[in-house]
Chains A and B, each alone.
Chain A
């Protein structure tokens, strides 16, 4: 508990203007941090431009995020991170940052702070299945990858080490994930919640039909980027040493390093930093003097030499006060340039720089995982609202021939109750007190009855790449710094709506088995009478979905400059010293949360960058 010397230091614009870097990275999230770490370790000099404030690197700054969360009435996914009008973070439509053109909303959120969206992510780290890489060839939907599962496999292992994944490879194998022989994850799986156990008791072994296939309803744990118990068998993959979980998110001087304590708040902030976030990667950079960070610098233009297409500089706006649009302009120069801002912002920045790419696909193929929710009350008290947000789920619908007709999905059992469906614990209190006039002992019983039995199932559905789902820009939609706000065109294909319909029926079957009271209702309007933009009707039934925050596909990788934006190493076809890293490069996302795969790709991409820098 002292101040560590190995601390990344923020630099000023003057230093940046005087330095020619080996690599200039835009965005200090998981992808940018991995690239910075990999390249600096090989002696390269790195600059990271970060749009948000760099607050979270200190203990005081991190703690202030926790306090901001405590003080927020609306505990939304960005509640810990104060509104920054110079670098707005979309928050389920709350601040109007996305210009949603429909027909359905993308919704969802990401976080523009140091550490990026890993500051608020839930932390599921599921590998994609081998067949997910051949979605077009096998099932006739979306796009294929230019590489196979085998190509990315070694990078998955690197990502699992970097993030510190807890999970059970035996279980995953049963679900169709392949591993090298004997491989285990760095830490053991997180114990299933009591609620998981109660659900499992009743549905274990049940089978259901889907498009003529029979599928088992078995629960399994999810691999997660969250500290649990180090797996002693992992030594083989760690040079014979025990895996040491990383807990130090804030540099100086927290020496946490603890396992998950069950704070039940993975999203939007883990107060004990048991959950991985990109600051852990930044703080483990072995040669911090090689890495400069310039916070409060919003990149707005990628400058290209028209003669050869090479990027010559990144232009940024530097603000002092997040609430004031006042700023100075700056330029960052280097040999290689890496955009690591996330799928939406990467595409936006390229389009703002008038670089739509030869294929014209910049911003197209916008994907996400739409979630269908179903909620019920269990027949007995399950002590809901305890533990990491999700520990187990049903992952047996991730694969199968049915993917020709309807999309794959995975089911989460939410340990945090109905909050996502619109009835959080606080809402139950308000209803009990204001409408039912409950008080004293009776009130306590009412809350146990209405909260401690809650079960929420979240069906995360695959949505294949579709060129008309896209990010664009329009001069009439800008933020206070004069930067473009993303304009979103988004719809959910019938291929995915078929899965919603199936999932709703499946939820009814599950609730029946459990003897649970189904409370699911997809209202067109909320309590205040506002239309739910994600509401729709399909085959005579009402639904709404919720955004999954897994934005991807906007600068898709492929085999040629005509069918894609980047190559298999995430290098731009048009600009040979430019890399677009992150989920934007993914041609499909299967039924896996995107972070692990994009982290793996960042390792792969870093290797190519090092080769580029050698030549």
Chain B
């Protein structure tokens, strides 16, 4: 058993212990993707329509799955989903906000992955994560597909076109910026 697989097994075992012995829910693919999109909406600050409008959701999902493994991804998405449900049933958005900050972004297990998911959406790049067992020395960041690059949310977030794509038209650079600081 190589060390990566062993770590994953360990995660799964610990999860069972700490989640009160419940087995990992076996989510089906479409549920996982649904959770993934909801999670991405919360992380990125972009609507589901805008995320799907990039045409990259499936590719990003499979990139994450391939790089961290299905089990860990399921666990992360389940964690998010539970927070989401809690927040919704209590009708209290702050439960979700705090949960994302403390239980996910600050968590040793999920933090780097969640950050990677944000960066994937924002700059279409996957960065190696040391603690998932990926050998960070041999791994380099990569752009998941040339066509994903222009879909990075970074550019919409700051109201510009991705350099070399989606040109805004002659002279538009003289106009007032479309983004503001609140």
Contact = CB atoms under 8 A, between A and B. Distances in A.
A and B: direct contact (Cβ < 8 Å)? yes
Contacts of A381: 177, 179-181
Contacts of A265: 163-164
Interface string B56-89: 0000000000000000000000000000000000
B165 A437 contact: no
A443 B45 contact: yes
B175 A194 contact: yes
B52 interface: no
B146 A449 contact: no
A295 B174 CA distance: 41
A443 B105 CA distance: 13
Interface in A51-72: 66-72
B122 interface: yes
A429 B123 contact: yes
B164 A444 contact: no
A271 B162 CA distance: 12
B164 A437 contact: no
Q: Interface range on chain A: under 10, 10 to 19, 20 to 34, or 35 or more?
A: 35 or more
A262 B45 contact: no
Nearest to B125: A73
B168 A262 contact: yes
Nearest to A443: B45
Interface residues of B, number: 52
Interface string A403-433: 0000000000001100000000110011001
A259 interface: yes
Contacts of A271: 164-165, 167
Given A73-B140, A385-B160, A386-B160, A437 B106 contact: yes
A442 B164 CA distance: 27
A272 interface: yes
B143 A383 contact: no
A69 B147 CA distance: 10
A260 B170 contact: yes
Contacts of A452: 158-159, 177, 179
Given A383-B159, A386-B173, A439-B44, A447 B164 contact: no
Given A70-B146, A261-B167, A439-B45, A451 B176 contact: no
A451 B158 contact: yes
A448 interface: yes
Contacts of B122: 429, 433
A261 B118 CA distance: 29
Contact of B168 (A191, A261, A425, A442): A261
Given A381-B181, A383-B159, A262 B105 contact: no
Contacts of A270: 164
B143 A71 contact: yes
Given A70-B150, A73-B142, A271-B165, A440 B158 contact: no
Given A262-B168, A386-B168, A443-B45, A448 B163 contact: no
B100 A193 contact: no
A13 B178 CA distance: 55
A431 B106 CA distance: 15
B95 interface: no
Contacts of B142: 73
Contacts of A66: 164
A441 interface: yes
A391 B171 CA distance: 11
Contact of A194 (B100, B169, B176, B180): B176
Interface in A178-224: 191-194, 197
Interface string B80-111: 00000000000000000000110001100001
B52 to A, nearest CB: 18
Nearest to B182: A445
B107 to A, nearest CB: 11
A387 interface: yes
A442 B154 CA distance: 13
B119 interface: yes
A219 B146 CA distance: 38
Interface in A475-530: none
A386 B45 contact: no
B14 interface: no
Contact of B167 (A67, A272, A445, A447): A272
A398 to B, nearest CB: 25
Contacts of A191: 171, 173-174
From A194, A382, A437, A449, name the one whose CB has the most chain B CB atoms within 10 angstroms.
A437
Contact of B105 (A388, A429, A437, A447): A437
A68 B167 CA distance: 18
Interface of A: 66-73, 75, 191-194, 197, 228, 259-265, 269-272, 381-383, 385-388, 391, 415-416, 425-426, 429-430, 433-434, 437, 439-445, 447-449, 451-452
14 contacts: A69-B164, A73-B141, A191-B174, A261-B169, A262-B172, A263-B167, A264-B164, A271-B167, A437-B105, A437-B115, A440-B42, A440-B43, A448-B157, A452-B158
The 6 closest A-B pairs by CB, nearest first: A383-B177, A387-B173, A261-B167, A70-B146, A265-B164, A71-B146
Interface of B: 42-45, 100-101, 105-106, 111, 114-115, 118-119, 122-123, 125, 127, 140-143, 145-147, 149-150, 154-155, 157-161, 163-165, 167-182
